[in-house]
Structure 1
Amino acid sequence: MNTPKKNIFLLTVLFLFTMTATVFAQDAPKPKASPAQTATGKVGAANITIAYSSPGVKGRTIWGELVPYGKAWRAGANKATLFTTDKDIKVEGKALKAGTYSVFMVPGEKEWQIIFNSETGQGGIKAGGVANFDPANNMLTVNVKPKKAAQMNERLTYDITNKGFSLKWENLEVPVAIK
C-alpha cells in the first residue's frame, strides 16, 4: 500500500540522492587545457628527461601565429620547459654539462634556435607575453632545421631517441641532435 508517509520518504531519498550526485559531479576535476607531461630516454650513456606542458592545436594555426616567428618561446605551455641530463652531452656538436636547464626556442620558418638556460622553476612568460628568461643565464644556444612532421600532432609532444630529441606539434617536427 502507498501511504502518504511512504511517498514523502521516497521523494526525500530521491531528492537527497540527486543533490549528492550533483554536488560530487561539480567537484570532479576538469581536464587541464595543457596537461603536464614528461618524456624520458637515453642518448648514449646519458639519461634525458624533458618536463613540459602539452597544449593542443584546437583548430588554431600554431607556427607564425599562436607561436610567432622570431620571438623566444617557452617550448610548451604554462611553466618553462625543463631539460635534464645526468651526463655531459653534446647538443648539435656543442658541449652541455650535466644538469637541469630551462629550454626556450626561437622558431623561424627555415631555422630555429634552441636555448638552454640555467635558470629553472620560473613561469614560461612575463607580462606582455615575453619569454621569462635572462639571456645572461644562457648556457648553450644551437640552431636546428625544422621539418614537416610525418603526421599531424594535435598535442605538443617531445620524443627522445638514441639520436636526440624532437618537438612535434601541429604539422612540424623540430629535431635536436645529441651525442
Structure 2
Amino acid sequence: MKQTALLLGFLLITLTGATAQTFRGLDKSPMDMAYYPDDYAHDRKFAPAKIGSDKAMVRVTYSRPAKNGREVFGKMVPYGKVWRAGANEAPEIKFYRDVTIGGKKIPAGNYALLLLPTETEWTIILSSDLDQWGAYSYNPALDVARVNVPVQKSDTVIENFSIQFAKKDASTATMYMGWDTAMVAVPIGL
C-alpha cells in the first residue's frame, strides 16, 4: 500500500513538472499603442458618448526603445538606412479610413511603419510587408507610400522612442514621432 501511494505521488510530481510552462523574460522595449482620437479604444468601451459619431482614424502599435545615454541617430540608428520605427517587430499602423499623407492617398488597412532617417529629414515608409522583425527583410517593391518630413529639434531629450497624435483641425491630425532630440510631424488628413 505504501509503495502504491509512493508511486502515485512520484507520478503526480512527474506529470506536474512535465506540464509546467516557462515564460520568456520581459522585453527591454515595452510595447505601446497610439490612437487618434487619443484614448479611442478606452472611450469606445467606457465612454461611448464622448466619441459621438467620430470613429478612429489611425492606430500605431510599436515598441519603445530607450536612449540609455547612447547616441541614437547617426550611430545606433544609422543615417540613410531603413529602420523600423521602434524596436523588435516593425510597427504596424492601421488606418480605419482612407487618409492622405503628404498628398498621397492611402487606403484603409494595415501597414508596416518604417523610416529612412537623415540629419535633415525622415522618409516615412508604409509597407505592405507586415509581421517582419525589424527592417532586415525590407523590400522597396512592397512600399505603399513614401513621404518626406523635415526633422525638428526637440526642446528636451526624449528618452524612449515615442509616437503621439494631436488634432490639427476637423479633418486633420498630426502624428508626432520623436527620440533623443529629433522629432518629426506627419500630417494625416481625411
**What is the TM-score normalised by the length of structure 2?**
0.72
Paired residue secondary structure (2:112): strand
In 1, the alpha carbon distance for the partners of 2:23 and 2:142 equals 41
Instruction: Flag the 1:28–1:150 CA change in 2: closer, same or farther, 3 A.
Output: farther
| Aligned partner letter, 2:152 | K
Number of residue pairs matched? 148
Say what the alpha-carbon RMSD is for the aligned residues. Answer: 2.0
Q: Can you list the C-alpha shifts for 1:71-123, whole angstroms capped at 9, x where unaligned? A: 10011100001111110000122111100000110001111111000111111
Structure 1 alignment gaps of length 5 or more: 1-26, 127-131
Runs of 4+ in structure 1 deviating by more than 4 angstroms, as ranges, are 27-31, 43-46
| Aligned counterpart, 1:80 | 90
| Aligned counterpart, 2:127 | 117
Q: Percent identity?
A: 32
- Per the TM alignment, residue 146 of structure 1 is displaced from its structure 2 partner at its CA by 0.9
Check the 8 A contact 2:29/2:63 in 1, yes or no. yes
Check the 8 A contact 1:119/1:137 in 2, yes or no. yes
Stretch deviating more after TM superposition (75-84 or 46-55): 46-55
Check the 8 A contact 1:46/1:89 in 2, yes or no. no
Paired residue secondary structure (2:82): coil
Matched, 1:140 2:145: yes
| Aligned counterpart, 2:27 | 32
In 2, the alpha carbon distance for the partners of 1:39 and 1:137 equals 24
| Aligned partner letter, 1:82 | E
Stretch deviating more after TM superposition (28-37 or 44-53): 28-37
In 2, the alpha carbon distance for the partners of 1:165 and 1:138 equals 19
Matched, 1:96 2:106: yes
Structure 2 alignment gaps of length 5 or more: 1-21, 39-53, 168-172
